[in-house]
């Protein structure tokens, strides 16, 4: 089901500077779209399915997922 959502929609993941690098988002991401580098989360928007599991687990509310209009 998640893969089908990815095919239909595109998302942009924004990780704000308030990220503390705890890694909870990395563990929550079913698409493995988030990684930690230098104690900061980084996201691959192309891999993101928009499920928002990462943002729900983020203790600092640093992750925003925006749906992008398809042209």
CATH number at residue 47: 3.30.70.20
Q: What is the pLDDT of residue 68?
A: 86
Instruction: Identify the pLDDT of residue 69.
Output: 77
The length of the chain in residues reads: 71
What digits encode the pLDDT tens for the residues 10-69? 899 999 999 999 999 999 998 999 999 999 999 999 899 888 999 999 999 999 999 887
- Give the chain's domain count: 1
4 or 29, higher pLDDT: 29
Residue 9 has φ and ψ, to the nearest 5°, of: -135, 155
Sign of CA dihedral 8, 52, 33, 66: positive
Q: How many helices (H) and strands (E) does the chain have?
A: 3, 4
pTM: 0.82
Which domain covers residue 55, as residue numbers? 2-68
Cα distance between residue 53 and residue 26, in whole Å: 10
Chain segment 5-15, per-residue pLDDT in tens: 566 778 999 99
């Amino acid at each position: 089901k998640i893969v089908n959502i990815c095919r239909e929609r595109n998302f942009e993941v924004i990780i704000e500077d308030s990220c503390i690098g705890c890694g909870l988002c990395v563990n929550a991401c079913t698409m493995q779209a988030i990684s930690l580098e230098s104690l900061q989360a980084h996201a691959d928007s192309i891999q993101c399915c928009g499920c928002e599991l990462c943002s729900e687990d983020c203790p600092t509310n640093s992750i925003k997922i925006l749906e992008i209009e398809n042209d």
